[in-house]
Amino acid sequence: MKLKMLFGLAALASTSAMATGPQCNHAQLPYQQATPVPFDSSPYLPQDTMPAQCSDPQVEAYIKAWEAGEINFSTIQPNESITQDQRFCKGLDNDGNILEVKDCDVKNAPVGYMWKDLSDYPVTIGITEGGKSDHEPHFHGQPECYYVVTGGSKTLADNKFRSLEKGQYFYIPGNAIHNTPILEERGLGVMYWYPNNSNFAGFKYYWRKDVKNLRVAEEAFDRVDEIRKRDLNLGPYGTNEAVFTK
């Protein structure tokens, strides 16, 4: 009897240790979550007024100042959530690594566009400036909004590439594949934000390579490639160098 009691107490102690151990002390990180199945595109279209889902006072203040001519890409300032050592123009190299764009000149951005971080809290906000360049289709769990500050192009919306012009807004729900190649020399600049989401370090972006062997997700990217070919006469991302270097 005593032996049974000892084993029982030991089992309880072991269960208690497991329940309170380090492995249970935190929520799952983004890379520990199951990979979601994406929608082929946002079901929404670009529009001339701010979608209700995108409303945010800090963004609205930035847009008001932009439209009044009080700020531009060079002079717009981030809030205090962006540390001094991160207040520079950022770009990507051909391997997807973030780097500083020399002189904040888009001509020095290896893949043709750059951005500035404007806020990481209470909402994540940034602004881009881009020349003619291709962009890789992707998705993430956080919804995203665009406001076009300069130029224009076409963006994937409701399973077609639709015009996205200066002064327009575009709402992308979470887990919807989106893609906006910059097709013209006039370029494209957008303010982008993730309504009700902050702290970008916790976001998880999904590219085609991240859904390898998840058949339904791979098929969604395949359909996006078909739409790119049909509407823009573009091949899959990474195969259009001749188009974007003319």
- Mean pLDDT, to the nearest integer, of 103-118? 94
How far apart, in whole angstroms, are the C-alpha atoms of residue 96 and residue 87? 20
Q: How far apart are CA 157 and CA 188, in angstroms?
A: 17
Which residue from 32, 34, 35, 29 is spatially nearest to 207, judged by alpha carbons?
35
> Which has more confidence, 1 or 7?
1
pLDDT one-digit tens code per residue, 166-189 = 999 999 999 999 999 999 999 999
CATH number of 42-244: 2.60.120.10
What per-residue confidence (pLDDT) applies to 49?
A: 98
pLDDT in tens, 71-88: 999 999 999 999 999 999
The CB density around residue 161, as the number of other CB atoms within 10 Å, is 21
Query: How sure is the predictor about 8, in pLDDT bands with cuts at 50, 70 and 90?
Result: very low
Secondary structure letter of residue 181 according to DSSP: -
Encoded amino acid at 60, one letter: E
Q: How far apart are CA 140 and CA 146, in angstroms?
A: 15
Give me the residue label for tokens 């982008």. Answer: 192
Q: Each residue of 14-44: pLDDT tens digit?
A: 444 444 445 555 666 666 778 899 999 999 9
Residue 49 Ramachandran class (φ > 0 left, ψ -120 to 50 alpha, else beta): beta
What value does the mean pLDDT of the chain take?
89
Residue 146 above 80 pLDDT?
A: yes
| The predicted structure's pLDDT at residue 180 | 98
pLDDT at residue 6 greater than cutoff 70? no
Average pLDDT rounded to a whole number, residues 131-154 = 97
Cα separation of 152 and 159, whole Å?
A: 19
The 10s digit of each residue's pLDDT in 197-224 is 999 999 999 999 999 999 999 999 999 9
pLDDT of 5 reads 40
Q: Tokens for 76?
A: 């717009």
d(CA 81, CA 75): 17
Determine contact, residues 137/206, Cβ cutoff 8 Å. no
User: What pLDDT is stored for residue 25 in this prediction?
Assistant: 58
The pLDDT, as a whole number, for residue 30 is 61
CA neighbor of 128 nearest in space, from 94, 154, 101, 96: 101
- Cis geometry, peptide bond prior to residue 46 (ω within 30 degrees of 0): no
Exposure of 55 in the CB half-sphere (CA atoms within 13 A): 3
The answer on pLDDT for 99 being more than 60 is yes
Q: Interior CA angle at 237 toward 90 and 35, to 5°?
A: 80
> What's the whole-model pTM score?
0.86
Question: By C-alpha distance, which of 43, 54, 50, 38 is closest to 157?
Answer: 43
Query: Residue 3 pLDDT > 80, yes or no?
Result: no
Give Cα 141 to chain centroid, integer Å.
9
DSSP 8-state class, residue 131 = -
Confidence grade of residue 148 (pLDDT, cut at 50, 70, 90): very high
